[in-house]
């Protein structure tokens, strides 16, 4: 034999040299769940190790994460039903706890990157990302609400807005609202290829935001579709997105690679709640090695082409490499 690939695997020292993909804490955005109140830290039942925090404890958690090298946070609010209505009015109420929290986080940690979520579902009595009328999700009417929500988040100090709603034309609409109001520096990380996925289940438990009727298939993408992701990527790019995101990550590694190969924008991937829950559940049962499964999953997302990884594992990964 002239060629023996095993020579490059013979020791840890050699394996380290030929390693093609390397994770770094700098790759990560840590998604966090915020609730109103003080001194609250409530574990999400389907996401062991992940909590809903009131602002005071979230600030402590962010500080702990920053000591581990995590610089970026994506904050999602959980609202009680009494704050919800058809029009998601609470989303742009300047006094609402989510917007006050964004302001407080940015003023406490100016060097942290704070990302927000733009979609109606946490504030919608229908539990949908858009405005519901006679069982239909209205597109253009939703854009106006998303515009108000985006402006309010920008005013609160968000660095990156994450439209996760999948309405047509929302990136361009949000970009023009931001620009007209002087927020030309606020970035947009578009949920470009967001699929109608069963892997969002635990997240909807965390926010109590499951749709009251129907599903999200008229706006989120069909898991069967590949080329359609390029249509979305083309639109988001011309509409002014700064990052393109694929979501979920693990069942859609081919889509991450597709966008990476077809775009010059940074590609983000969202390692979603159900992907986290599966690893945790199997590890708790002793069926897999949770830490190794975590590392392998995160590595596969990066190898597929993601420049940025949103993951509930971010802190655990950072503490592991710090040791
Ligand atoms: C909703 C939103 C969802 C997630 C992020 N933003 C759920 C959904 O579309 O129903 C899912 C995140 C996760 O599962 O970790 N706009």
Give the DSSP letter string of 116-176: EEE-SGGGBTT--SSEEETTEEEHHHHHHHHHHHHHHHHHHT-SEEEE-S--TTHHHHHHH
Which CATH number goes with the domain that contains 256?
A: 3.20.20.70
Residue 202 Cα, ligand 1 centroid: separation in angstroms?
Answer: 9
Average pLDDT over residues 253-270: 98
Q: Atom 11 of ligand 1 has which residue's CA nearest to it?
A: 200
Nearest residue to 146 (alpha-carbon basis) of 195, 191, 110: 191
In this structure, is residue 121 part of a structural domain?
yes
Among 83, 84, 194, 302, the active-site one is 194
Question: How far apart are alpha carbons 151 and 158 in whole angstroms?
Answer: 10
Average pLDDT over residues 161-174: 97
* Catalytic residue list contains 280: no
Ligand 1 pocket at CB < 6 A: 117, 119, 121, 129, 164-165, 200, 203-204, 216, 272-273
b/e map 147-183, b = 16+ CB within 10 Å: bbbbbbbbbbbbbbbbbbbbbeebbbbbbebbeeeeb
Domain with 147, as residue range(s), is: 27-322
| Cα 203 to averaged position of ligand 1 atoms, centre (Å) | 6
- Residue with CA at minimum distance from ligand 1 atom 14: 200
Residue 211 covered by a domain: yes
Q: Which is higher by pLDDT, 204 or 275?
A: 275
Q: Which of 31, 131, 162, 200 to mutate to test the pocket of ligand 1 (most atoms within 8 A of CB)?
A: 200
Percent share of the chain, pLDDT over 90: 96
Look at the alpha carbons of 122, 274, 164, 167 in this order and tell me if their dihedral is positive or negative.
negative
The residue among 295, 310, 190 whose CA lies nearest residue 249 is 310
Is 212 annotated in the active site?
A: no
> For a pocket test of ligand 1, which of 203, 209, 211 has the largest count of ligand atoms closer than 8 A to its C-beta?
203
Residue 296's contacts (CB-CB under 8 Å, 6 or more residues apart) are none
Mean pLDDT of 227-239: 98
Give the pLDDT confidence score for residue 209 in this predicted structure.
Answer: 83
Q: For 229-251, what is the mean pLDDT?
A: 98
* Mean pLDDT of the region 57-74: 98
Residue 17 counted as domain residue: no
pLDDT > 80? residue 170: yes
**Tokens 């249509």 sit at which residue?**
231
Residue 233 falls inside a structural domain: yes
Average pLDDT over residues 229-253: 98
Please state, in angstroms and as integers, the Cα–Cα distance from residue 225 to each residue in 13, 171, 221, 222, 261, following that order.
42, 21, 7, 6, 17
User: 200 C-alpha vs ligand 1 centroid, how far in Å?
Assistant: 6
pLDDT range class, residue 323, cuts 50, 70, 90? confident
pLDDT, mean of residues 99-104: 98
Mean pLDDT score, 108-117: 98
For residue 69, tell me if it sits in a domain. Answer: yes
Report CA(20)–ligand 1 centroid distance (Å). 31
Instruction: Give DSSP secondary structure letters for 58-95.
Output: HHHHHHHHHHTT--EEEEEE---GGG-BTT-GGGG-TT
Mean pLDDT of 221-242: 98
- Helix/strand/coil for 98: helix
Q: Is residue 11 part of a domain?
A: no
- Closest by CA to 209, choosing from 97, 112, 84, is 84
Q: What is the mean pLDDT of the chain?
A: 97
235: left (phi over 0), alpha (psi -120 to 50) or beta: alpha
- From the CA of 194, give the closest atom in ligand 1: 9
**Residue bearing the CA closest to ligand 1, atom 5:** 164
Å from CA of 178 to ligand 1 middle: 23
Q: What percent of the chain has pLDDT over 70?
A: 100
Q: How many domains would you assign to the chain?
A: 1
Nearest ligand 1 atom to the CA of 120 is: 16
**Domain for residue 6, yes or no?**
no
Considering the domain boundaries, does residue 94 fall inside one? yes
Q: Best substitution site from 30, 129, 216 to test ligand 1's pocket, by max atoms within 8 Å of Cβ?
A: 129
Q: Are 116 and 102 in contact (CB under 8 A)?
A: yes
The pTM (predicted TM-score) of the whole model is 0.97
Which of ligand 1's atoms lies nearest the C-alpha of 129? 16
């Amino acid at each position: 034999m002239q060629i023996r690939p095993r020579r490059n695997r013979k020791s840890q020292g050699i394996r380290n040299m030929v390693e093609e993909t390397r994770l770094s804490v700098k790759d990560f955005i840590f998604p966090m769940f915020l609730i109103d109140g003080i001194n609250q830290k409530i574990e999400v039942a389907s996401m062991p190790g992940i909590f809903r925090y009131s602002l005071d404890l979230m600030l402590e958690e962010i500080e702990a994460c920053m000591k581990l090298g995590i610089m970026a946070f994506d904050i999602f609010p959980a609202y009680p039903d009494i704050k919800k209505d058809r029009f998601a009015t609470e989303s742009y109420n300047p006094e609402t706890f989510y917007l006050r929290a964004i302001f407080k986080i940015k003023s406490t940690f100016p060097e942290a990157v704070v990302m927000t979520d733009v979609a109606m579902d946490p504030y919608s009595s229908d539990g949908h990302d858009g405005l519901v009328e006679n069982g239909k999700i209205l597109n253009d009417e939703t854009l106006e609400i998303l515009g108000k929500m985006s402006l309010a988040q920008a005013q609160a100090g968000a660095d990156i807005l994450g439209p996760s709603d999948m309405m047509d034309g929302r990136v361009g609409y949000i970009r023009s609202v931001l620009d007209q109001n002087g927020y030309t520096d606020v970035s947009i990380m578009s949920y470009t290829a967001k699929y109608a996925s069963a892997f969002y289940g635990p997240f909807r438990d965390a926010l109590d935001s499951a749709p009251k009727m129907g599903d999200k298939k008229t706006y989120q993408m069909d898991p069967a579709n590949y080329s359609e992701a390029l249509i979305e990527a083309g639109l988001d790019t011309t509409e002014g997105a700064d990052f393109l995101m694929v979501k979920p990550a693990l069942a859609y590694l081919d889509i991450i690679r597709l966008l990476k190969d077809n775009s010059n924008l940074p590609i983000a991937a969202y390692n979603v709640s159900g992907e986290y829950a599966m690893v945790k559940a199997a590890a708790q049962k002793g069926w897999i090695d949770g830490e190794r499964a975590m590392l392998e999953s995160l590595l596969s997302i990066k190898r597929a082409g993601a420049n940025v990884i949103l993951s509930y594992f971010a802190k655990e990964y950072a503490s592991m490499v710090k040791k």
